[in-house]
Structure 1
Amino acid sequence: MKRIFKFLNRFLGGEDGPTAVEYAVMLALIVGAAMVGITSLGNATVASFTDSSTRIDAAVTGS
């Protein structure tokens, strides 16, 4: 237990603590942007395949 407190004291007392927080915030922003982009790309892909399916079905059935 003393080792954990010693590590935390060194971590928070030095420059590593704020730097780690900055990296965590940047990582969270990058992950959030990636999730938005992937979701948008997924929705566009589904719409494209749905449109293709509808057009192929219409061509096959002749309507």
Structure 2
Amino acid sequence: MLKKMEQFVREEEGQGMAEYGLILAGVAVVAIVGIKALGVQIDSLVDSVTSAFKGE
């Protein structure tokens, strides 16, 4: 049992997954900040596209 726990601690696969998780979290933060910063412009763009489809 101790050998398996020792082997588990020495494996580096978990480290790679943690790095991917941190990268994903960073991308999510950048996306949220970008959407918050451009929120009004995106909303007006969606409104204009919607009204164009409606023929208004």
Superposition TM-score, scaled by structure 1 size: 0.52
Residue 19 of structure 2 aligns to a residue whose secondary structure is helix
**RCO higher in 1 or 2 (8 Å CA, sep ≥ 6)?**
1
Task: Please report the RMSD computed on the Cα atoms of aligned residues, expressed in angstroms.
Answer: 2.1
Indicate the structure (1 or 2) with the bigger Cα radius of gyration: 1
Identity %: 7
Q: In the alignment, is residue 10 of structure 1 matched against residue 3 of structure 2?
A: yes
Residue type of the alignment partner of 2:24: A
Residue 46 of structure 1 aligns to a residue whose secondary structure is helix
Q: Which residues of structure 1 form unaligned runs of 5+?
A: 1-6, 55-63
Deviation sequence 1:2-28 (CA, Å, 0-9, x none)? xxxxx2x1302xxx4233xx1110011
Instruction: Count residues in correspondence.
Output: 43
Residue type of the alignment partner of 1:24: G
Distance 1:29 1:40 in 2: 17
Residue 35 of structure 1 aligns to a residue whose secondary structure is helix
Q: Which residues of structure 2 form unaligned runs of 5+?
A: 45-56
Distance 2:22 2:15 in 1: 11
Distance 1:31 1:44 in 2: 20
